[in-house]
Chain A
Amino acid sequence: MTYLYFPGCSLKSTGRAYEESVLEVSRALSMPLTELEDWNCCGATAYMSISELKAFALSARNFALAERQAGNGEVDMVVPCAACYLGLNKAKRYLNEHPEIRSKVDEALHAAGLEYKGSIRLRHPLDVFVNDIGLKNIAELAVKPLEGMRVACYYGCQILRPYADFDDAHEPTTMEKLMQALGAETVDWPLKTRCCGGSLIGTVPEVGLRLSYILLKEAKRRGADVLATACPLCQFNLECYQDKMKDMFGENIGLPVVYFTQLMGKAFGLPDNRLGLQRVFVPLVSPKRAKAEVGGVHVSE
């Protein structure tokens, strides 16, 4: 079994911390990830709005490259970005279920001397960590458990909708189980799969800001110390626009928003700068100190 890592555009720029922490945590779990060579755009949301068939062909090129890179064995493509995960997953399903689409895409791949055999499995790291590595093995590595930290687990929309491959689409619990195994408390909140607004925060900020603000406000009201995400766009929207939300809604939220992999790395005792934690806007406060501090002022460990 080979794990090939598909980064996508965000994990190379605004979401760099996600890449850093995914790779670091995978190393700690003795399942090092190899990056797919010469990967191209997954063909997600914005691209699919222009041409769906070409979006599927983009995904299919990635599949063909992955099969070639992995030789003849089984390939699991590990895709941390929620939009890439869905974009690739959707393409895979359409190619399997609709022969007329498959034949057109195959023809296009052949024109470039490529072939997609259909053996790729698409996996989100949350699924791989919990279901392949196992909570028990993860818990054993937690040398610095996240004791006293109340985590609001946020899945966002595209990991489990419309394809609920590894958890329930309405009430997922995988991330909660993972965080509890690492010693954290999880916050019970109903908005964990509600949309953060996606790219609307950049295009129609009046709407996008409100959608993200609703999520943060509710997580905070339910007593969260930190919000854990599994998507680079969710992380960007929920964290980097908190000052704009303050301008618009008059409320200073100040809730740290980090990737679930950063919290895993934290529990494994890995240094902050290897988990990309120096890249956050709202610093992650260590919980024991946070209780002593008034107003959640940053205290570095």
Chain B
Amino acid sequence: MEKWQGWRKIRYEAELDPDFPREIASIPGGEKILTCIQCGTCSGMCPLAPYMDYTPRQIIAMIRAGFRSEVLSSYTTWLCASCYACTVECPKEIKLTDIMYAAKRLAIRTGVYPKKFPIPILASEFFKSVESTGRNSEGRLILRLFMRTNPFKLFNQSRLGLNLLRRGRFSLKRESIKQTGELKSILKVLEREHMVKAKDELVPESKVRP
């Protein structure tokens, strides 16, 4: 079994985090997660479900039960390629893709994402590039991803790199917008704003119940 496929863990109820479902439900439209009927349509639709450590349906059940650390450190949320197949099929209109995003952001914010796993590293490198220049430079992004995960794997990619280069499809040029100052002042305003509310900002449980 691959390391990232994980396994089920048993938890004592006292170790669960009862605020976790409300944290996730605090994203716009997120309260619908509390109406999940566990039908499993999301897992059936998900093309990545066979590779996940917990299926999408399990993730919803775990969020609702308060399995905070398991959800946030799972590979499932990062394997979600955001194809929205679950979101369009859910009979209870739960925006599961957005919930996966919320879990990713919470995992990055609290530093519990699976370390050395390339997907969160790709996301954070992409983010850094856009923060500083307003654009992503594809060639540089790929190089930095390999440098931070496994530089030796870069050799396996040399054939692809050369093929792209020969066809004018690969460049290490640093892409940038002209008005970087303008963009920085926009992003600065939102520096401390989060879509997933912090625990002390959560509305009382009675008001979230649908």
Residues of A within 8 A of B (CB): 9-10, 12-17, 38-41, 43, 45-54, 57-58, 61, 94, 97-98, 101, 104-105, 107-109, 111-114, 157-158, 161-162, 164, 169, 194-195, 197-200, 202-204, 206-207, 211, 240-241, 243-244, 278-281
Query: Could you list 13 A-B pairs, sorted by A, with CB under 8 Å?
Result: A12-B175, A16-B168, A40-B135, A46-B127, A58-B183, A112-B186, A162-B97, A195-B85, A199-B81, A203-B145, A211-B48, A243-B159, A281-B167
A199 and B122 contacting across the interface, CB-CB below 8 Å: yes
A13 and B105 contacting across the interface, CB-CB below 8 Å: no
Closest to A41 in B: B130
CB of B174, distance to nearest CB on chain A (Å): 12
Report if A16-B169 is in contact (Cβ < 8 Å); known contacts: A111-B186, A198-B81, A207-B48: yes
A114 and B186 contacting across the interface, CB-CB below 8 Å: yes
CB of A296, distance to nearest CB on chain B (Å): 19
Closest to B27 in A: A52
B182 and A114 contacting across the interface, CB-CB below 8 Å: yes
CB of B208, distance to nearest CB on chain A (Å): 16
With a cutoff of 8 Å between Cβ atoms, the chain A residues found around residue B27 in the complex are 52
A107 and B81 contacting across the interface, CB-CB below 8 Å: no
Name the one of B105, B122, B163 contacting A51, with C-beta atoms under 8 angstroms. B105
Most buried by A among B88, B97, B101, B130: B130
A274 to B120 alpha-carbon distance, docked (Å): 38
B101 and A48 contacting across the interface, CB-CB below 8 Å: yes
With a cutoff of 8 Å between Cβ atoms, the chain B residues found around residue A54 in the complex are 187, 190
A234 to B205 alpha-carbon distance, docked (Å): 42
B138 and A108 contacting across the interface, CB-CB below 8 Å: no
A18 to B1 alpha-carbon distance, docked (Å): 40
CB of B105, distance to nearest CB on chain A (Å): 6
CB of B143, distance to nearest CB on chain A (Å): 12
B61 at the interface (CB under 8 A from A): no
Name the one of A158, A207, A211 contacting B84, with C-beta atoms under 8 angstroms. A158
A240 and B139 contacting across the interface, CB-CB below 8 Å: no
CB of B108, distance to nearest CB on chain A (Å): 6
CB of A20, distance to nearest CB on chain B (Å): 10
CB of A60, distance to nearest CB on chain B (Å): 8
A14 and B51 contacting across the interface, CB-CB below 8 Å: no
A83 to B119 alpha-carbon distance, docked (Å): 17
A194 to B89 alpha-carbon distance, docked (Å): 13
A157 to B139 alpha-carbon distance, docked (Å): 24
With a cutoff of 8 Å between Cβ atoms, the chain B residues found around residue A38 in the complex are 177-179
Most buried by B among A39, A48, A97, A206: A48
A47 and B130 contacting across the interface, CB-CB below 8 Å: yes
Name the one of B81, B102, B130, B195 contacting A40, with C-beta atoms under 8 angstroms. B130
Name the one of A12, A15, A57, A94 contacting B186, with C-beta atoms under 8 angstroms. A57
B160 at the interface (CB under 8 A from A): yes
Name the one of B87, B108, B136 contacting A162, with C-beta atoms under 8 angstroms. B87
Closest to A52 in B: B195
Name the one of A197, A206, A279 contacting B169, with C-beta atoms under 8 angstroms. A279
Most buried by B among A46, A51, A101, A198: A46
Write the B84-112 contact mask toward A (1 if CB under 8 angstroms, else 0): 11011000000101000110110010000
CB of B86, distance to nearest CB on chain A (Å): 10
With a cutoff of 8 Å between Cβ atoms, the chain B residues found around residue A169 in the complex are 88
With a cutoff of 8 Å between Cβ atoms, the chain A residues found around residue B189 in the complex are 104, 107-108, 111
Report if A161-B84 is in contact (Cβ < 8 Å); known contacts: A10-B138, A38-B178, A47-B130: yes
Name B156-210 residues within 8 Å CB distance of A. Answer: 159-160, 163-164, 167-171, 175, 177-179, 182-183, 185-190, 193-195
Most buried by A among B27, B102, B122, B175: B122
B85 and A161 contacting across the interface, CB-CB below 8 Å: yes
Name the one of B101, B126, B177 contacting A52, with C-beta atoms under 8 angstroms. B101
A39 to B101 alpha-carbon distance, docked (Å): 25
Name the one of B81, B134, B170, B175 contacting A14, with C-beta atoms under 8 angstroms. B170
A104 and B169 contacting across the interface, CB-CB below 8 Å: no
A204 to B117 alpha-carbon distance, docked (Å): 9
With a cutoff of 8 Å between Cβ atoms, the chain B residues found around residue A98 in the complex are 28
